[in-house]
Structure 1
């Protein structure tokens, strides 16, 4: 699995994140930086400036190396991502973009240009769900992404039926999450995300079980 274009684009996105980190290190005051926000959108977790500017980029870089270079080489052929490499690359790229946006929000908040960081994160998450739902019917059976239940992993027919069913649901959950972030009262935003996510996951799990019983 090559993923050359995705690797290049992810590294460019990481370079953008590193640029924010370097700017923050030399321009932000040496005081604790808000890195976590509660359901009301208010900061409730802080880190020292230098740690805040290093930790998230370091985790992002380690994740990229693991997902794009190490993991595809470690998987056995039975769990290979080869048949879904385009979808896999797009999802890794989208997740990386979301992490960059989240980190940019943290730096901007620390700089006093306070955006609604929670809203940004929730809108980005909703758009990610929409993207995943769009590509879900194209995912072939693997051990890394998708609806991985005992029944989907045991039978490719169940996998395909479940992912055709779950794709539109994920897109709907993304629309609900995005709409909630933009329109709902602040205290409801995270609850809407949790409800949308749990609903689609439970429905997909139950559907995979039912599909397996019908195909016996």
Structure 2
């Protein structure tokens, strides 16, 4: 399957989101609930027109942006090596946004469910695939764990992103387990996600310093 075909799948999801908005537009209230607290209680609203059409527009913009990035990245040849995973990430991200959009519309149509749990399940799946693409990625400026140290060394990039990929997958699994713990579920995502961010940044710095010392030692 060519990149354009995979991105077309994402585009189809965005079109489906627009069609869904059009289909339910007359049935939802003028103010839609679009925010919930950790306990799953509604905490914010948005005017109907914005809630209906902003998500499909955002999907379209993101798809266009992701289509352009491989063309403008100075290290575009590296993206080409994992382009299949890159394209499917765009599909997964668009599907996640569609899930959120559909969930908001369903809630405002009167269907009763715990929206935060739906959101956490979607984020968990998105995080898991993020872990997949991290383990496949090569050094570039847009996709992956980008720190000054990973961007300066292929070895540091590869090892840091492989570690980050495993941690993202583990975070996704914890987030799904957290769904069993009610209003505490969100912490099963936030805490490991924060730790993942800190660990990967620190690890990339530590690894870069170690690699540089080894290079200096070999030079002497």
Assess same fold via TM > 0.5: yes
- 1:193 partnered with 2:189: yes
Indicate yes or no: 2:181 matched with 1:184: yes
Point out where structure 1 has 5 or more consecutive residues left out of the alignment.
none
Matching residue of 2:20: 20
RMSD between aligned residues = 1.6
Instruction: State TM-score, norm by structure 1.
Output: 0.91
Matched, 1:90 2:88: yes
The answer to whether the aligner puts 1:45 opposite 2:44 as a matched pair is yes
Query: Deviation at 1:82?
Result: 2.0
Bigger Rg over Cα: 2
For 1:105-144, list aligned pairs within 5 A: 105-144=103-142
Indicate if the aligned counterparts of 1:108 and 1:115 stay in contact, CA closer than 8 A: no
Deviates further, 71-80 or 16-25: 71-80
Residue aligning to 1:209 = 205
Moved more, 95-104 or 36-45: 36-45
The answer on whether the counterparts of 2:37 and 2:43 sit within 8 Å (CA) in structure 1 is: yes
Deviation at 1:78, TM superposition (A): 6.2
SS in 2 for 1:35: strand
Superposition deviation, residue 33 in structure 1? 0.4
Residue 26 of structure 2 aligns to a residue whose secondary structure is helix
Structure 2 CA distance for partners of 1:41 and 1:79, relative to 1, 3 Å: farther
Counterpart Cα distance in 2 of 1:79 and 1:204: 25
Structure 2 residue runs without a partner (length 5+): 213-220
How far apart are residue 66 of structure 1 and its match? 1.5
